Amino acid sequence: MMRQYELVDRVRRYNPNADEDLLNRAYVYAMKAHGAQKRASGDPYFSHPLEVAAILTDLKLDDATIVAAVLHDTIEDTTATREEIDHLFGPEIGALVDGLTKLKKLDLVSKRAEQAENFRKLLLAIADDVRVLLVKLADRLHNMRTLHFVPPEKRARIAQETLDIYAPLAGRMGMQHLRDELEDLSFRTLMSEAHAMIEARLKDLETNSSALITSIERELTEALAKRGIEAEVKGRQKAPYSIFKKMEHKSIAFEQLSDIFGFRVVVKEVEDCYRVIGVVHTKWPTVPGRFKDYISTPKQNDYRSIHTTVVGPGRQRVELQVRTRTMHEIAEYGIAAHALYKDGRGIDGDALSQESRAYQWLRRTIEMLAEGDSPEEFLEHTKLELFLDQVFCFTPKGRLIALPRGATPIDFAYAVHTELGNGAIGCKINGRIAPLLSELQNGDEVDITRAEGQSPPAAWESLVVTGKARAAIRRATRDAVRKQYAGLGRQIIARAFERAGKQFSEEKLKASLPRLARQSVEDVLAAVGRGEMFSGDVVRAVHPDFREERKSASTPAKGEPGWFGLNKAASLVFKVPGKDEVSPNAIPIRGLNGDLPVRFAPNGGAVPGDRIVGILTPGEGITIYPIQSPALTAFDDQPERWLDVRWDLDEELHEFFPSQIIVNALNEPGALGTIATVIGEEGANIDHVEFVNRSSDFRDIVIDLQVHDLKHLTGIISLLKTKSVVSRVERVNG
């Protein structure tokens, strides 16, 4: 276990002005607080926060972060309190320790809803101070290093959690060195055989290629020195997990990989990076398509380097990364190396004019929490952005837009501005008209065509790859549905006021919002449209002295507002799945002339006497189905679209309703005439007749009927069954 003076020495190596007294007090306090507690390994528990602090000293973090690491388990696992930490070490350290305490019980690989909610808590906890994340990542790294002491049944869960969340999050923060170790430890636990195989191959390759690597290092160093470029050239090999992912992604064997070994060239100045590229490209032929300049266009995690691949000595492919020392530090330690936590200076001595790009991404991600997405949606969107590589595209004015690989112009539009995405109707890529679903490539210039009042199709949500685009499309779809509900609710309320003999006024309704417990008039309209609020309650809220006299609603005459096509009316209330009872407070609704037209299901229709439901289709209206219709199974997983409906009829009108039957009849002259005679004598209309499944003896006849109700239809079916030319009669429930 690290001793007290060793901790102080580690900090003073990179920070001679470290607060030695503060570090000593934290060490003694945490040691006494944890007392005789033990870890699963049998070591004193206090050894764990010390190791976490040691990891953070390697990142050269400030005194407050080191002290927070030493104390990070005290509030959760001992009798220490936040007030006591604040009093002894100050509110800054108290806030860091408290933020870490809130994350202590995170279980990111639990049930999906819990996992998503916990991920929200994780990001919210680090929203105010990213140092909370740095301590959390160091805490996870030490836990992974000692994972072999954990019971076997827990190892896979913890390793998968690390691979899914913590490792990519470290990568997004630019902490590649930490990410590599987290991935390697997880890979070793989850796929031990694959890890052992790749590690053995790497050792063999390193033994066989050591002379070649040394030769390339020497030759490249000498070539640069001749041009007066002082550089450090060092060979490196890919991490086992990175190799495994490439083999899996490209479906190739280990022997087919051409870039297992690469070389890193570290120089003093930015200008030297480009001079190195000039030397390398004139000395050895380049591999087309393998040049990437992340200095002029840094990655979102602040990574900056120039990548190139050349055919070097012995016709060996050589991958090179060229960067300055400051870039190298940021590439390895990411946000922990950023000037934000050092001397207030930016990368390579430039004034710090903006915060870390990695932290900007983190803040934008956290802002999505306020956009109304569910925890599950938020987790899904964030994981998409954590795992995908990037492409860089440009607006017509030259603005650089970084997107995940596989992004479309729709993603591009939403990355520029939400309103541009919502109104997008077309695009040009590099000056040529292209589909909105085209996959963007590095360097593409994208020009989006938009239209005012346009709303994105709901289908776009499954076609885009960025979380921002998906969230915006989902919100726009919800807003469109809400607008339709509000339009429906407005008709219902206007009709209710008309029946009550009152004048509907939005101003009066607005004054009555407190009595309805709603924030806006639109909230009331949408609630009524969804069946969550009774229109009579709205009338009484505006006119408290009104007393409704319940009576059957009359049917409007043909041509009047609200006429229902076939002169029928329905009452709609929200359907609670699993309940068959119709609400006694059902609200009469009529209308083909409104925003939500009502129609019957094709291939069967519905007739009075049927238990019926309505299915809401945004942008199209409501379709009425009989409850026994097999077509309803397609909507089982969309309960928000179900509306309960009941018949609201004037029996004196003898209205007709659509239905459909299939008659299996003898294939002989006069059979159809007999069937038509029965239907006509029973007072029903035939709309359409179709012959299907003909054979030498029988044929099926599909007949669209107009009948008064279920009793009328049943009587016709019964009479048809008595005829000698009829073998079978069935009603179609489409």
* CATH number of the domain residue 226 falls in: 3.30.460.10
Same domain membership, residue 102 and residue 38: yes
The residue ranges of DSSP E strands in 386-452, in sequence order, are: 390-394, 400-404, 424-429, 432-434, 446-450
Q: Name every residue whose Cβ is closer than 8 Å to that of residue 349 and which is 6 or more positions away in sequence.
A: none
Per-residue pLDDT tens over the stretch 486-529: 888 888 888 888 888 888 888 888 888 887 878 888 888 888 87
The predicted pLDDT at position 420 comes to 92
Does residue 236 sit within a domain?
yes
- In this structure, what token pair is assigned to residue 186? 């997880």
Same domain membership, residue 199 and residue 187: no
Q: Is 260 exposed, middle or buried (0-12, 13-18, 19+ CB in 10 A)?
A: buried
403-407 CB contacts, 8 Å cutoff, 24+ apart: 403/440, 403/465, 403/466, 404/465, 404/466, 406/439, 406/465, 407/439, 407/440, 407/464, 407/465, 407/466
Does residue 205 sit within a domain?
yes
The predicted pLDDT at position 351 comes to 33
Same domain membership, residue 118 and residue 26: yes
Whichever domain contains 686, its CATH number is 3.30.70.260
Same domain membership, residue 508 and residue 379: no
The predicted pLDDT at position 449 comes to 93
Catalytic residue among 63, 77, 199, 380: 77
Does residue 605 sit within a domain?
no
Give the residue ranges of DSSP H helices in 227-317.
240-250, 270-283
> What is the C-alpha separation between 188 and 199, in angstroms, rounded?
10
The predicted pLDDT at position 548 comes to 58
Does residue 108 sit within a domain?
yes
The residue ranges of DSSP E strands in 118-253, in sequence order, are: 232-237
Does residue 651 sit within a domain?
no
Residue 77 annotated in active site: yes
Same domain membership, residue 145 and residue 30: yes
Residue 373: alpha-carbon gap to chain centroid: 9
Per-residue pLDDT tens over the stretch 533-557: 778 888 888 887 776 554 433 333 3
> What is the C-alpha separation between 379 and 123, in angstroms, rounded?
11
Ranges of the chain with pLDDT below 70: 102-128, 258-259, 336-390, 547-597, 618-619, 639-640, 644, 648-653, 734
Same domain membership, residue 278 and residue 363: no
- In this structure, what token pair is assigned to residue 5? 């003076």
The residue with tokens 């002029």 is 296
Nearest in space to 87 (alpha carbons), one of 29, 165, 146, 137? 29
| Domain C-terminal end among 527, 551, 575 | 551
- In this structure, what token pair is assigned to residue 558? 């043909």
Total domains, the chain: 5
> What is the C-alpha separation between 604 and 625, in angstroms, rounded?
8
Whichever domain contains 418, its CATH number is 3.10.20.30
Catalytic residue among 19, 20, 58, 76: 76
pTM of the full structure: 0.54
Mutual angle of helices 47-58 and 131-145, in 10-degree steps: 120
CA distance between the termini of the chain: 74
Same domain membership, residue 509 and residue 394: no
Does residue 440 sit within a domain?
yes
| Domain C-terminal end among 423, 446, 468 | 468
Residue 452 annotated in active site: no
| Domain C-terminal end among 193, 211, 246 | 193
The predicted pLDDT at position 400 comes to 75
**3 state SS of 481:** helix
% residues pLDDT > 70 (the chain): 80
> Distances in Å between the alpha carbon of 580 and those of 532, 586, 644?
17, 14, 9
Same domain membership, residue 169 and residue 187: yes
The predicted pLDDT at position 341 comes to 42
> What is the C-alpha separation between 164 and 386, in angstroms, rounded?
9
Same domain membership, residue 371 and residue 338: no
Same domain membership, residue 328 and residue 203: yes
Does residue 597 sit within a domain?
no
Same domain membership, residue 363 and residue 294: no
The predicted pLDDT at position 345 comes to 36
Does residue 695 sit within a domain?
yes
Domain that holds residue 416: 358-468
Whichever domain contains 109, its CATH number is 1.10.3210.10
Same domain membership, residue 710 and residue 690: yes
